[in-house]
Amino acid sequence: MQSPRWLFWTPTLIWGSTWHVILYQLAETPVLSAVAWRFALAALLLALVAWHRRQSLHIPWRLHGWLVLTGSLQYGLNYVGVYQAEHYIPSGLVAVLFSLMVFINALTGAALFGRPLTLRFAACAVVGVVGVVAIFWPEISAAGARPQAGLGLAWGLLAVACACIGNVMTLKLTARGLDLVPLLAWCMGYGALTLVLVAGISGTSLAAGHSWAWWLSLLYLSALGSVLAFLAYFRLSQLLGPGRAALTSVVTPVIALAVSAALEGWRPQALSYVGGLLCLGSVWWATRPVLAKLS
């Protein structure tokens, strides 16, 4: 069995770096095009992984409606919502919104999968979200000065809702006996197709980038940011429950800011350091007993 620590830190570290890598994609292609290319390639890579493992890609056609819905939400509308939100509000506020997945996933895990929600975990989740707010407080406090901040918040909440629903649907489908690799291959493929259709309706170009930076970033986002990270994330969700898996959304902003400080010139304030310690400390305290028992 894979170590829960490995399953936790793999998507957390990867997704913490993807915020910077995405910039190389958006420098040359529109959002819809960049994300569609990302998940189309990821679906192909997952199909190759399934072939290597001798796992059949066949899924009963009666379930494909659920696959289309899951893929459209998780890998389509979710990402559209994130990037649209960042047109109107600071990226830090979007990160805070996604940290709310800790609570939503914990509640759905308790209601749908029989995962108990302990007072200890709830307290750690609250501390973690407070830490994220502290890190991004300068950006959050400036959101009210933006005339379309409400629209940005609406897009951000839509993205969080799509991500949470997609998580639950994926876990429900695996609970019905579907292998995770073929399931994600179909869902990411349908997510990419959804984005292609939206791009066609909106008249957005689907042309690929032309530089080595664009192609290398696409490979990174597809192979690591989509295939490896989501496989590890959903394995962790199956093992510990969706609530504890969502703690990745608390630590990811801390890592993203470290990358930004190293590569983009971001300078943290004293409150940012306090927030980072709160995030990491809350995750350590929430998962320490479970990880020590299972690893």
Residues 6+ apart with CB under 8 A from 137: 271, 275
CA 113 and chain centroid, separation: 21
Say what the pLDDT of residue 254 is. 77
Show Cβ contacts of residue 278 under 8 Å, excluding neighbours closer than 6 positions: 127, 128, 130, 131, 134
Per-residue pLDDT of the chain (295 residues; tens, 9 = 90+): 478 889 999 999 998 888 788 888 888 988 889 899 999 999 999 999 999 999 999 999 999 999 999 999 999 999 888 877 877 776 666 777 777 777 777 777 777 666 677 777 788 878 888 887 887 787 667 666 666 767 877 888 899 889 888 988 998 899 888 999 999 999 999 999 999 999 999 898 888 999 999 999 999 999 999 999 999 999 998 888 887 787 887 788 778 777 777 776 667 778 878 888 887 788 777 766 544 443 4
Q: Which residue has the tokens 């927030």?
A: 275
* pLDDT given for residue 142 in this prediction: 67
C-beta of residue 194 within 8 angstroms of C-beta of residue 258: no
Residue 32: what residue type?
Answer: L
DSSP string, 246-260: TTHHHHHHHHHHHHH
Q: Which residue in 19, 31, 157 sits closest to 94, CA to CA? A: 157
pLDDT of the residue at 113: 66
Question: What distance in Å separates the CA atoms of residue 61 and residue 186, rounded to the nearest whole number?
Answer: 12
Measure the CA–CA gap between 276 and 131, rounded to whole angstroms. 6
Amino acid at 166: G
Amino acid at 289: P
Residue whose tokens read 């890998």: 75
Tokens found for residue 90: 């600071």
> How far is Cα 221 from Cα 212, in angstroms, rounded to an integer?
14
Domain boundaries defined on the chain: 4-294
